[in-house]
Amino acid sequence: DTGVSQDPRHKITKRGQNVTFRCDPISEHNRLYWYRQTLGQGPEFLTYFQNEAQLEKSRLLSDRFSAERPKGSFSTLEIQRTEQGDSAMYLCASSLHGVVGTEAFFGQGTRLTVV
Amino acid sequence: LAKTTQPISMDSYEGQEVNITCSHNNIATNDYITWYQQFPSQGPRFIIQGYKTKVTNEVASLFIPADRKSSTLSLPRVSLSDTAVYYCLVDNFGNEKLTFGTGTRLTIIP
């Protein structure tokens, strides 16, 4: 297992288009997180899954955003009707919940540019 | 109320020991302190985690005083490759999300 994988690494889209990102977590990890990061800021929490259940969504996650994790494996994050303000790095992370001292492993992110 | 406060930026010369201090005055009894490192265009990477006293691994040391209201990440003999943003996080074990601040931008000078 080579870690958390995200696809694509870069995405340029026109305003109003829909985009979908994919995250493949470390295989035995039951937790999967999505974050958004803009220039000069730390990652901001968007949502997380415990297995296939989406347990929390940030207020940052507007109705245009939807995330899924079918079968508790990979996850997708879709943004509908993209806006320029959606331009950011979208990070996925996974962890093994329930283990003291466990760490979250992050992917390299998907950089979205909305033009 | 911010959970953590850290310097926005720091500079250091190669070969020096670097200490980055984080304040977390409102830390709760069941909170852990975790540090992450982030290079440009990459996701954050776990460095070290602790609850109290001192923790050391192959990368860094983490010093936590008895009152746990602050912590210090110590990087021994830094090199240019340690130039990165360092985030201090305070989170309840079992907390559902990691809360990042703006971090400390560390620049190592040749």
Q: What is the 3-state secondary structure (H, E, C) of chain B?
A: CCCCECCCEEEEECCCCEEEEEECCCCCCCEEEEEEEECCCCCCEEEEEECCEEEECCCCEEEECCCCCEEEEEECCCCHHHCEEEEEEEEECCCCCCCCCCCEEEEEEC
Contact: A45, B97; criterion CB under 8 Å: yes
The pLDDT of residue B73 is: 98
Any CB–CB contact under 8 A between B46 and chain A?
yes
Provide the pLDDT for residue A114. Answer: 98
**Looking at per-residue confidence, does B31 or A111 come out higher?**
A111
Residue B1 has, within 13 A of its CA and on its CB side, a CA count of 5
Phi and psi for B46 in degrees, rounded to 5? -60, 135
Q: How far is CA A94 from CA A109, A111, B58, B97, in A?
A: 13, 19, 23, 11
Q: Do A33 and B97 touch (CB under 8 A)?
A: yes
Residue pLDDT, tens place only, A13-33: 999 999 999 999 999 899 999
Q: What is the mean pLDDT of chain B?
A: 92
Chain B residue nearest residue A56, CA to CA: B96
In this predicted structure, what is the pLDDT of residue A100?
59
**Comparing A75-79, A92-96, B2-6, which segment has the lowest mean pLDDT?**
B2-6
Please report where in the chains the tokens 């040749």 appear, as a residue: B110
pLDDT at residue B74, rounded to an integer? 98
> pLDDT confidence of A2, banded at 50, 70, 90?
confident
8 Å CB contact of A55 and B102: no
pLDDT digits (tens, 9 = 90+) for A28-72: 899 999 999 999 899 999 999 999 999 889 988 889 999 999 988
Which residues 55-94 in chain B show a CB within 8 A of chain A? Answer: 85, 87, 93-94
Give the nearest chain B residue to A41 (CA atoms).
B102
Distance from CA of B95 to the nearest CA of A (A): 10
